[in-house]
Structure 1
Amino acid sequence: MKIAVVGSINMDMTVTAERIPLKGETLRGDNVRLIPGGKGANQAVAMARLGAEVEMFGCVGDDDNGRKLLDNLKESGVKTDHIHVLKGVPTGIALITVGENDNTIVVVPGANGKADKTYAESICRELEGYDMVVFQHEIPLETVHYLIKWCYEKGIPTVLNPAPAAKVPTDIVEMVSYLTPNEHEARLIFGEETKTEEMLKKYPEKLVITQGSEGVVTCMKSGQILHVPARKSSVVDTTGAGDTLNGAFSVRICQGDDIEQALLYANTAAGLSTEKFGAQSGMPLAEEVEKELEEK
């Protein structure tokens, strides 16, 4: 089982506070930490921690953050052979505020914005050797759409986690194997007036909508709406929970699980990830998820 992730590699500057500040408000923070992140890198690390063979594709700058992020990926068991290191371009950074069991995030793309169509064309031959390719929206959408079309033509399964929120063309929705938006992202893609059940029934066992503390929903090919509730967790930090879910879901689909089994596993992994601080540092190992599932 080999999975490729084409996406963002960021350094997360995370500040904790008693709550998220209101517009125009200044609050005193508790501390600041620099933590490896980026939706793409997070999902790759989640997969590696769950036992998959994973390679990360993307761009970093030739700065201290870039070097630290490459080292972190390697230490996490993620291959980095085709990550481009760009001279004179800063590595992407995310500014995260954590408070009241929630977070706000502002992303500055930096080198992630240079993962363009030229870069996409340069990695196509490498992607042919993978069982699945996973994408997000923190690199140029032109790159994401180009590679999804390319994978579709080659018969390579794909997962698109359309975050941050952006429109997804209908042809891309049709070509991708799995689409995993949250509720806000789903409304942007399918229309504010479209009911969740209507969206799901149009794309059975393709569209998976995450609902935060409510869990995740999809539609089975039988037409039945499947709701997998969230695991009850002692929440410390929700940063990276969605990335853990996407990574775990991709791994289990690749291993041959049906969509219900994969979502149960993914939801359990995501719940466990919220009980520790930091996106990647909170991600569970395969044995932790399996133990949790055995105890249910």
Structure 2
Amino acid sequence: MSTRLPAVTVVGSINLDIIATTDRLPTAGETIGGGVLQQQPGGKGANQAVAAARLGGSARMIGAVGDDAPGRLMLAALSGAGVDTADVEVLDGGATGTALIVVDRDGENQIVVCPGANAGFSLEGVSFGPDETVLCQLEVSLPVVLDAARRSTGFFVLNAAPAMDLPAELLERCDLVIVNESEYQLIPALAGANLVAVTYGKDGSALLERGRRVAEAPALSVPVASTVGAGDAFCAALVLAIRAGLPYGRSLAVANAVGADAVGDPSSQPALAPLEDYIARATESSVASR
């Protein structure tokens, strides 16, 4: 029997990713030659919306692009992946957000984000249905994220990246927060949050309820092409799996499998199989469930 996947609305960033691939990452003040340059669609919000759609969910994107060539390219990429873009604003005179990314031969990266239109939109006129799962990140302004939390009456998820101090109101509203290990350490208030998913790279992932570990799943060992889109694919998969009713441990295992596929793809918006395929791979024997 197929798993019914929820409708996910992503409120977040839409960027043009300019990626330089090099043998190693430069140190401060250092110039490295021999890089290979490419441009592709990105932004944490757009990456998560595309991943949700490619996994088989119904995905809606709320964000903004500039009235420029990169903006048109980003909208085409979202629509081509099956994402509803009706609520993406096109800001007159604004520039589409841009991320400057350096990736080394092991897939590690350095990223500088220039927000552009991501910093200039609001949720005026936007509404969320009671059955909509809303997923936000912190590459858009905190007031927009707070507004989304207040407007949403359904399941509300925050990918708290990049890390910053979070208002108590926002944390209390979150049904789920998703972070990596360093972000968890940088946001002490997460220790008291309702439910937090933490990724640990090669050490897998875990779910914590008010600081108490309630589920975990190991990482999969795979060749790494790029880690740029892996965290976003993990977020989309975990949200879909939990909202589809899978136990916590199995949901983590499914999300880990999706993240493993994502690191093998150099794209910020990697090709993914339907979520059903990853559910089949994630056997109960490989996870610690609640």
What is the CA–CA distance in structure 1 between the aligned matches of 2:97 and 2:268, rounded to whole Å?
Answer: 16
Cα separation, 2, equivalents of 1:107 and 1:85: 19
Gapped runs of 5+ residues in structure 1?
192-198
Q: Which amino acid aligns with 1:110?
A: G
The one-letter code sitting in structure 1 at the alignment partner of 2:250 is: Q
- Identity, % of aligned positions: 35
Q: What do the CA deviations read for 1:75-102 (whole angstroms, capped 9, x no partner)?
A: 1000000111011101000001000320
Q: Does 1:58 align with 2:66?
A: no
1:27-52 C-alpha deviation (Å, 9 max, x unpaired): 01431111100000000011001100
Instruction: Indicate the RMSD between aligned Cα atoms, in angstroms.
Output: 2.1
Separation (CA, whole Å) in 2 of partners of 1:94 and 1:27? 19
Greater mean deviation of Cα atoms: 234-243 or 285-294: 285-294
Matches within 5 A, 1:84-163: 84-99=89-104, 100-115=106-121, 119-123=122-126, 125=127, 127-128=128-129, 130-151=131-152, 154=153, 156-163=154-161
CA change 1:274–1:288 in 2 (3 A) is farther
| Residue 187 (structure 1) shift | 2.1
Relative to structure 1, the CA distance from residue 147 to residue 221 in structure 2 (aligned partners, 3 Å threshold; closer, same or farther) is: closer
User: Which whole-Å CA distance do the structure 2 matches of 1:29 and 1:287 have between them?
Assistant: 41
Are residues 282 and 25 of structure 1, via their aligned partners in 2, closer, same or farther at CA, if it must alter by over 3 Å? farther
* Residue number in structure 1 paired with 2:177: 179
The structure in which a higher percent of residues are strand is: 2
* CA shift digits 1:206-261 (9 cap, x unpaired): 11111122211223699554332211111111111100000001111221112222
Q: 1:266 to 1:237 in 2, by over 3 A?
A: same
Q: Answer yes or no: is the 8 Å Cα contact 1:158–1:177 preserved in 2.
A: yes
Aligned positions of 1:1-296 closer than 5 A: 1-99=6-104, 100-115=106-121, 119-123=122-126, 125=127, 127-128=128-129, 130-151=131-152, 154=153, 156-190=154-188, 202-203=192-193, 206-219=195-208, 224-286=213-275, 288-290=277-279, 292-293=281-282
Deviation at 1:2, TM superposition (A): 1.1
Report how far residue 149 of structure 1 moved: 2.4
- Farther-moved stretch of structure 1 (274-283 vs 67-76): 274-283
Instruction: Give the AA of the match of 1:277.
Output: P
8 Å CA contact 1:15–1:29 kept in 2: the answer is no
SS at match of 2:40: strand
Q: Judge conservation of contact 1:134–1:159 (CA < 8 Å) in 2.
A: yes
Q: Aligned AA for 2:79? A: K
Bigger proportion of residues as helix = 1
**Distance change in 2, residues 1:11/1:222 (3 Å):** closer
Aligned residues: 279
The answer to which of 23-32 and 89-98 deviates more is 23-32
The amino acid that maps onto 1:271 is A
User: Which ranges in structure 2 are unaligned for 5 or more consecutive residues?
Assistant: 1-5
